[in-house]
Amino acid sequence: MGRLVSLVPASWDFAFTAGAPLDGTWQEPWPSCPAERPGRFVVAPAYLVAEQVYAKQRVHTG
């Protein structure tokens, strides 16, 4: 059986600005963190496929 090769570009996005409010289009707070607080650090990166968000970035808001 041959190897499967993806022709669709996919990437993990770790881009983040500490202290900034979360951008709901591609970020969400870690489940135990309040959404109204600014982000402190990335817990899990966003996953993008063909520049579309497939899984949002999870951010610790403290």
SS3 24: coil
- 8 versus 15: the higher-pLDDT residue is 15
pLDDT at 7 over 90: no
Two tokens at 42? 């990335």
Three-class SS of residue 18?
coil
Q: What is the pLDDT of residues 19-49, one digit of tens each?
A: 999 999 999 999 999 999 999 999 999 999 9
pLDDT, averaged across the chain: 93
